[in-house]
Structure 1
Amino acid sequence: MSESHELDLLDLPVSAGRAGRGPATWGQQAIWDAVSVLGEDAPRYNVSVGFPLDPAYPRAAVLAALARAAGHHEALRTRMVPGADGELTQVLDASGHFPVVIRRCAAEESATVGDALLAELASQAFDCAEQWPLRIGLVEADGLVRHYAMVLSHTAADGGGLRRLARDVVMLLAAGTGNAGLPPATQPLDLAAYQVSERGRRRDEAARRHWRSRLGDGPRALFAPRVPRDPQALFPNACLRSPALLRSVDHVAAARGVSGSSVLLAAATQQIGRLSGAPDVLLQVVVNNRFLPGMAQTVTTLAQEGLFHLRSVEQDFGALVGRVHAGALGTYRHASYDKRLLDRDIEELRGELPDLADHSCFFNDTREPALFRPPAPAGSPVPLSRAREQTTLTWPVEFPPRHNLTFAMDVYDAPGAVELLMTADSSLMPRADMEAFLRGIEDTVVTDALATGCR
C-alpha cells in the first residue's frame, strides 16, 4: 500500500447534556420528503465542504474541536425517525459517536487526497433513523492534519448551516484549549416547539396565504415548449465562472443601495423577460431564513422557497433592481412554512382554478460573503472592462429530469469569481438559451458596474 493510501478509521465519541424527542421542524420534514423519493440519487443532496487547514493541527486537537462542535450543535446528534405517512420525529441523543476517516499522504498531495476523500464520503447515503448525520475526513501529512472534509445529511443542515459549522470548527481549533465559546444557537427541538406554537402557526398561515395569492395572480406560462418533451431526457447543467461578476455584484449592490442577491435576482428576472417574452415573472427564491429572530447562528435546515412575483419587467436595470429588492424583502418574510400544508393548499387551489401560475423557475444565491468567501488567486486583477475575457462556460454533468422544473440557477462563491450553475429542461430552455441567460446576467451586471464607476 502506498503512503497516499494509508488510512485510519475511528469513531469519535461525543457526550453532551441534553437528549429529547419531538416533531420535525418544517425544514427537516421538507428535505426528508424531497430526498426520500430519490432512491440511488439521494446522496447528491448531501451537503459537504472541504478546505486546507493552515496552520496544520495535531489529530487530537482536530478531534477535540469536532467533539465540542457536535456537543454544541444538536442537529449533529439528531436522528430522524419516520412514522406513519412519513411524518418525522427528531430524536436527540445525549451521547454517541460519528465516523472519522483519516488518510495519510505527502504534504504536497494533501489537497488532492482531501478532494478525493470528500467526494468519496459525499457519495454515500445516510441512514438518518439509525446514524448521526455527519461524516468527517481528515488528511494527515508529516504527523499533522492539513486538510479537512465534512459531509452532512441535508436533513441536518442546509448550506448556511454547513458554513456555520465549518466556521465554528475553525474557531475552536484556533482557540485551542482556551475558553472561547461558540455563539448561542437555536436548536432544532426548540425551533420545532416554536413552529407548533400559536405564533408559529400564524407565521405558517401568513406564508401560505402569500403563496396562494401569487399562484392565483402570477403568469400562467413563462417559457413555451421549443421541442416535444422526452420524459426520460436528462437535464443539462451549465457552469459560468466569472471573475468579473465577483467585483461587479459587490459594486452594484453598494452603488444601488441593495443586496448582492437582489442584484443577481434582478438580472435573472430581466433575462427571463427577454427570453420568454412574458410581461410578468414568477420565481421560487431560496431564502436561508437566518434573519429570523434567534436563527443567525443556527446549524439546521432553515432554508425554504419564497415565491417572488414581479409585474412588468422594465429594461432599465437601475430602476429594475430597486423594485426587485423591495419585492424580494416581502418574499423573504413569507419563506418559512409547513411544506406539507402548502402542498395541500396547492392541490386545493388546482381544483378551484383552471390552472396555476407557472412556478417552475428557481433562484438560489448560496453566498454569504461576510461569513465565507474563498481567497482569490494571487496576482493583480485585470481592469473590469477586460475581466470578462477570463469568463468560462462549461457543461459539467447532466441530471435526471425533475418534475415542475423549467430551470434552477444556483449562485456560488468560487476563488476569485462568482459561479452561476444552471440546470434546465432543454425542451423549454435549449442549451443556447441557457448560455444566453447566463451570459446575459453577467453582461447586465458588469455593464451597470462600469456605468456606475467600477474600474
Structure 2
Amino acid sequence: MTRQEWWLPIGYARAVPPGTTVEDLVEEVRFMMSRYPTLRTTLRHDPDGGARQVVAGAGEIDVEVVDAADDEDPELVADRVRQWYWDGEYDLVHGWPIWIAIICHKGTPTHLVTVMTHLVLDAFGGIVMLEELVSRPAGPTAMPPLEQVRWQSSPAGQRQNAAALRYWEKVLRAVPHRRFPHRHEPRSPRHWEGRFRSPAAHLALRVLAARTKVDASPLLLATFAIAMARHTGINPVVIQVVVNNRFRPGLARSMSPLSQTGICAIDLAGLTVDDAVRLTARQAIAAYKHAYYNPSDVDDIVARLADERGEELDIACFFNDRRIEVRDQAAGPPPSPSQVRDALGRSTFEWGRRLDTSFERMFTHIEDVPDMMAITIAGDTHYMSPNDLEACVRGMEAVAVEAALDPAATTGIPS
C-alpha cells in the first residue's frame, strides 16, 4: 500500500431486497462488525517503525444515510458513493478500515455500500462474508484471525515460516542480474495498464490442458514465463505468484486477507512448451507450499541478499490469477486446429489507466471472463515500455497457439 500509494480497496454497492428497512441494514452492519474481527482492527506504529494490529472488543461505527433525489437513479448514486469511498483517505490508526452507507430513494433503502481496505480481507474473504450475511451462522466457520496469530506463533507455525524462508532464499539466489529491459524512457504518466482479450489463446489452452493434464492456472503462468523470456532474453524467469492460502487447514472460510506471494524461478532453456508447462506446474506447487510466511522476514532476506550482491534485488514481477467463476478450461473435446486458427483474428488489446502512482514494475492479472484468455497487464514504463507490455501478452497468445498446433513446439530459449 505504501509503495503503490493506494489502499487497495475492496467493496461493492449492493442492491437490497424490496421492503428492507434502515433498521434491517443497521442490524446487518452490527452482525458484520461483531462477527469479523478484521473489521474492527486498527494499526499501531511502534517507535522502531514496525506496525501492529489492534483488535477492538467493542465500539461504534458511523453509517451514512444518503438520500437520492426523486429524479436520480439510486443505483448511480450508490456507485458514486462507492467510488468516493474507493478514492478516500483512510485513517487506519484512529478509524475503522471500513466505510458504510445506506442509499435511500423516496425514503426507502435501495442499496448498501460497503468499502474496506485490503487489510480487512481478500476477494475470497469477501465471498465468505456475502454468503454469511445471508446464512447468519452462529458459530465460527473458520479459524478466527486471533487463533491464526496463535498458530503462527506456535512451534508448527514457526516451522512453516522457517521452511518458507529457506525456500525464498534459495530461489532469490538464482535471480538474474536483470529482470526487465530497463528502458528508462521518460513518460508521464509513468505507469500504464492494458487489457488483452484472446479467444484463440483460450481455445489453445484447452488443447494444452488436454494434452499435458495440467490445470489452467499453471498453464497461464507457463505461457507468461515463456513470453517474458522470449521478449526480454532473461532466463530463468523469476515471478512472484499471488497465492490464495485458503487450502490450508482451518482457513477456507476465513474472512481475512490470506493471499500472499510465492516465488518461482523457472529455467526454460532447451525445453518444449509441453515440458515447460509441466516444469512450471511443479514450480508453482512449490511456490504455493511456501507462500505462508511472515512478510517482514522475507523483506529482511531480500535486503540482506541485495546488500551481499551490491545491487537491488529486482523481483517486482507479479502474476495474479484472480478468476473465481472461470477457474479451469471448459469440459468436452479439445478444439480443432482450424478452430484455434480461425479465432486469432478476434484478439483485442487496449490501453486503460495511466497513472503516476505505481502499479508495481509489472503486474499481470488473469481476469474472470468466460471463453477468453483475459489479461490486465500493468507496468512501470521505466522498466517495461508500453511496447514491452503489449508484446508480453501477445507473446502469451503466440506461445499457446504455437504449442496447440505443434506438440513439439519449443520455448525458443537456447540451452
TM-score per shorter chain, which class?
A: 0.7 to 0.9
User: Secondary structure in 2 aligned to 1:191?
Assistant: helix
Show the counterpart of 1:96.
59
Matches within 5 A, 1:6-405: 34-35=1-2, 41-43=5-7, 45-53=8-16, 57-105=20-68, 109-141=73-105, 145-169=109-133, 171-172=134-135, 180-181=137-138, 184-226=141-183, 228-230=184-186, 234-241=190-197, 253=209, 256-312=212-268, 316-353=272-309, 358-369=314-325, 391-400=347-356, 402=358, 405=360
Q: Taking structure 1 as reference, are residues 399 and 313 closer, same or farther at Cα in structure 2, changes over 3 Å only?
A: farther
Q: Which runs of 5+ in 2 are unaligned?
A: 328-338, 408-415
Whether 1:435 and 2:397 are equivalent positions in the alignment is no
- Measure how far apart 1:167 and its partner are: 3.4
Over aligned residues, Cα RMSD in angstroms? Answer: 3.5
Q: Which runs of 5+ in 1 are unaligned?
A: 1-33, 173-178, 372-382
Q: Is the 8 A contact 2:306 2:313 kept in 1?
A: no
User: Secondary structure in 1 aligned to 2:132?
Assistant: helix
- Measure how far apart 1:64 and its partner are: 2.6
In 2, the alpha carbon distance for the partners of 1:421 and 1:342 equals 27
User: Secondary structure in 2 aligned to 1:283?
Assistant: strand
- Measure how far apart 1:450 and its partner are: 8.5
- Measure how far apart 1:107 and its partner are: 10
121-130 vs 86-95, which moves further? 86-95
- Which string of whole-angstrom CA distances, capped at 9 and with x for unpartnered residues, describes residues 420-452 of structure 1? 222223233221221121233245446767899
Q: Is the 8 A contact 1:270 1:314 kept in 2?
A: no
Q: Is the 8 A contact 2:268 2:276 kept in 1?
A: no
Q: Is the 8 A contact 1:73 1:299 kept in 2?
A: yes
Give the counterpart of 2:366 among 411, 414, 435.
Answer: 411
User: Secondary structure in 2 aligned to 1:186?
Assistant: coil
- Which string of whole-angstrom CA distances, capped at 9 and with x for unpartnered residues, describes residues 295-345 of structure 1? 111122222211111112567433322221111000111112222222222
127-136 vs 413-422, which moves further? 413-422
- Which string of whole-angstrom CA distances, capped at 9 and with x for unpartnered residues, describes residues 401-420 of structure 1? 659x5411122325886642
- Measure how far apart 1:239 and its partner are: 2.1
In 1, the alpha carbon distance for the partners of 2:72 and 2:189 equals 42
Q: Is the 8 A contact 2:204 2:400 kept in 1?
A: yes
1:361 is matched by which residue type in structure 2?
C
In 2, the alpha carbon distance for the partners of 1:151 and 1:246 equals 33
How many residues end up aligned between the 2 structures?
395
1:151 is matched by which residue type in structure 2?
V
Show the counterpart of 2:376.
421
- Measure how far apart 1:384 and its partner are: 7.2
- Which string of whole-angstrom CA distances, capped at 9 and with x for unpartnered residues, describes residues 170-211 of structure 1? x34xxxxxx655761222222122222222222112111111
- Measure how far apart 1:272 and its partner are: 0.5
In 2, the alpha carbon distance for the partners of 1:260 and 1:50 equals 31
Q: Is the 8 A contact 2:226 2:268 kept in 1?
A: no
User: Secondary structure in 1 aligned to 2:38?
Assistant: helix
User: Secondary structure in 2 aligned to 1:137?
Assistant: strand
Q: Is the 8 A contact 1:75 1:187 kept in 2?
A: no
In 1, the alpha carbon distance for the partners of 2:179 and 2:347 equals 28
Q: Is the 8 A contact 2:305 2:313 kept in 1?
A: no
Q: Taking structure 1 as reference, are residues 87 and 451 closer, same or farther at Cα in structure 2, changes over 3 Å only?
A: same
Q: Is the 8 A contact 2:37 2:145 kept in 1?
A: yes
Q: Is the 8 A contact 2:302 2:313 kept in 1?
A: no
Higher relative contact order (CA 8 A, sep 6+): 2
- Which string of whole-angstrom CA distances, capped at 9 and with x for unpartnered residues, describes residues 80-133 of structure 1? 222222333322223223333344447993433332221111111221222221
Q: Normalising by structure 2, what TM-score?
A: 0.81
In 2, the alpha carbon distance for the partners of 1:424 and 1:221 equals 16
2:362 is matched by which residue type in structure 1?
F
Q: Taking structure 1 as reference, are residues 211 and 272 closer, same or farther at Cα in structure 2, changes over 3 Å only?
A: same
In 1, the alpha carbon distance for the partners of 2:73 and 2:403 equals 42
User: Secondary structure in 2 aligned to 1:437?
Assistant: helix
Percent identical pairs in the alignment equals 25
- Measure how far apart 1:231 and its partner are: 9.5
Q: Taking structure 1 as reference, are residues 415 and 114 closer, same or farther at Cα in structure 2, changes over 3 Å only?
A: farther
Q: Normalising by structure 1, what TM-score?
A: 0.75
